[in-house]
A and B are shown apart, each in its own frame.
Chain A
Amino acid sequence: MKPKRKRLTFVIIGLGLLAAAAALVLTAFEENIVFFHSPTDVKEKDIGADRRIRLGGLVEEGSVKKTAGGKTVEFVITDLNETIPVVYAGLLPDLFREGQGVVAEGLVKNGVFQADEVLAKHDENYMPPEVADALKESGQWQHVEEKLKASGQTAEGYTKKDPGK
Chain B
Amino acid sequence: MIVEIGHFALILALVVSLVQGTVPLVGAHRNDAAWMALGRPAAIVQFLLIALSFAALTHAYVTSDFSVLNVARNSHSAKPLIYKISGVWANHEGSMMLWVLILAAFGSAVAIFGQNLPPSLRARTLAIQAFITLAFLLFILFTSNPFERILPAPVDGRGLNPLLQDPGLALHPPFLYLGYVGLSIVFSFAIAALIEGRVDAAWARWVRPWTLAAWIFLTAGIGLGSWWAYYELGWGGWWYWDPVENASFMPWLAATALLHSSIVVEKRDTLKGWTVFLAIVAFSLSLLGTFLVRSGVLTSVHAFATDPARGVFILVLLLVAIGGSFALFAWRGPSLSATGLFVPVSREGALLLNNLLLTTASAVVLLGTLYPLFLDAMDGGKVSVGPPFFNAVFIPIMTPLFAALAVGPFLAWKRGDLPGALARLRLAFGLSVAAALATWYVAADGPVMAVLGMGLAAWLVIGAIVETASRINLFKATIGESLRRLRRIPRATWGMTIAHFGLGILIAGVTGSSAWKVESIQTMMPGQTIDVSGYEFRFEGASRAQGPNYTATRGRFVVSQGGERVAVLKPEKRVYPVEGQPTTEAAIKTTFMGDIYAVIGDAEGNQGGYVTRLYFNPLVPWIWAGILIMVVGGLFSLSDRRLRVGAPSRREAPAQKVRAQKVRT
Contact A25 B364 (CB under 8 A): yes
Q: Which of A75-83, A106-114, A119-127, A140-148 contacts B (4 or more CB under 8 A)?
A: A119-127
CB-CB contacts of B347-374 with A at 8 A, as 1s and 0s? 0000010001100100110011001000
Complex interface: chain A residues within 8 A of B344 (CB): 6, 9-10
Interface residue B303 (Cβ < 8 Å from any Cβ of A): yes
CA gap between A121 and B582 in the complex, in Å:
12
A108 to chain B: closest CB distance in Å?
16
B336 to chain A: closest CB distance in Å?
15
CA gap between A75 and B300 in the complex, in Å:
24
Which residue of chain A has its CB nearest to the CB of B581? A124
CA gap between A17 and B342 in the complex, in Å:
19
With A25-B364, A163-B158 already in contact, the answer to whether A124 and B579 are too (CB < 8 A) is yes
With A29-B371, A32-B392 already in contact, the answer to whether A24 and B397 are too (CB < 8 A) is yes
Contact B356 A17 (CB under 8 A): yes
A-B contact pairs, 6 of them (CB 8 A): A28-B389, A29-B371, A70-B522, A90-B521, A91-B601, A94-B573
Q: Which of B158, B364, B385, B601 has the most A CB atoms < 10 Å from its CB?
A: B158
A128 to chain B: closest CB distance in Å?
5
A residues 106-165 with Cβ under 8 Å of B? Answer: 120-124, 126, 128-130, 133, 156-158, 162-164
With A17-B357, A21-B364, A21-B397 already in contact, the answer to whether A33 and B389 are too (CB < 8 A) is yes
Taking residues whose C-beta sits less than 8 angstroms from the other chain, chain B's interface range is 35 or more
Contact B384 A124 (CB under 8 A): no
Contact A126 B601 (CB under 8 A): no
Contact A36 B384 (CB under 8 A): yes
CA gap between A25 and B371 in the complex, in Å:
11
Interface residue B188 (Cβ < 8 Å from any Cβ of A): no
B residues 148-163 with Cβ under 8 Å of A? Answer: 150, 154-158, 161, 163
B residues 461-481 with Cβ under 8 Å of A? Answer: none
CA gap between A21 and B521 in the complex, in Å:
38
Partner of B392, one of A24, A69, A162: A24
Which residue of chain A has its CB nearest to the CB of B367? A25
Binding site for A on B (CB under 8 A): 66, 72-73, 150, 154-158, 161, 163, 233, 235, 296, 299-301, 303-307, 341-342, 344, 352, 356-357, 360, 363-364, 367-368, 371, 381-386, 388-389, 392-393, 396-397, 521-523, 573, 579-584, 599, 601-602, 604, 609, 611, 613
CA gap between A130 and B161 in the complex, in Å:
22
Contact B305 A156 (CB under 8 A): yes
B261 to chain A: closest CB distance in Å?
14
With A71-B522, A91-B613, A164-B154 already in contact, the answer to whether A122 and B393 are too (CB < 8 A) is no
Which residue of chain A has its CB nearest to the CB of B523? A70
With A21-B363, A126-B299 already in contact, the answer to whether A70 and B609 are too (CB < 8 A) is yes
Contact A36 B381 (CB under 8 A): yes
Binding site for B on A (CB under 8 A): 3, 6, 9-10, 13-14, 17-18, 21, 24-25, 27-29, 31-36, 54, 66, 69-71, 89-92, 94-95, 105, 120-124, 126, 128-130, 133, 156-158, 162-164
Contact B296 A164 (CB under 8 A): no
Complex interface: chain B residues within 8 A of A129 (CB): 299
Complex interface: chain A residues within 8 A of B156 (CB): 163-164
Complex interface: chain A residues within 8 A of B393 (CB): 21, 24-25, 28
Contact A91 B599 (CB under 8 A): yes
CA gap between A6 and B296 in the complex, in Å:
46
Contact B360 A18 (CB under 8 A): yes
B524 to chain A: closest CB distance in Å?
9
Contact B385 A162 (CB under 8 A): no
Complex interface: chain B residues within 8 A of A14 (CB): 356
A144 to chain B: closest CB distance in Å?
17
CA gap between A164 and B64 in the complex, in Å:
13
With A124-B580, A158-B304 already in contact, the answer to whether A28 and B523 are too (CB < 8 A) is no
Known: A32-B386, A33-B371, A163-B157. 13 other contacts (CB 8 A): A10-B344, A21-B363, A25-B393, A28-B392, A29-B389, A31-B388, A32-B392, A36-B384, A123-B581, A124-B581, A130-B299, A133-B382, A163-B150
Which residue of chain B has its CB nearest to the CB of A89? B521
CA gap between A130 and B297 in the complex, in Å:
11
Contact A24 B364 (CB under 8 A): yes
B143 to chain A: closest CB distance in Å?
15
Which residue of chain A has its CB nearest to the CB of B164? A122
Complex interface: chain A residues within 8 A of B235 (CB): 120
Partner of B385, one of A32, A70, A122: A32
Complex interface: chain B residues within 8 A of A124 (CB): 579-581
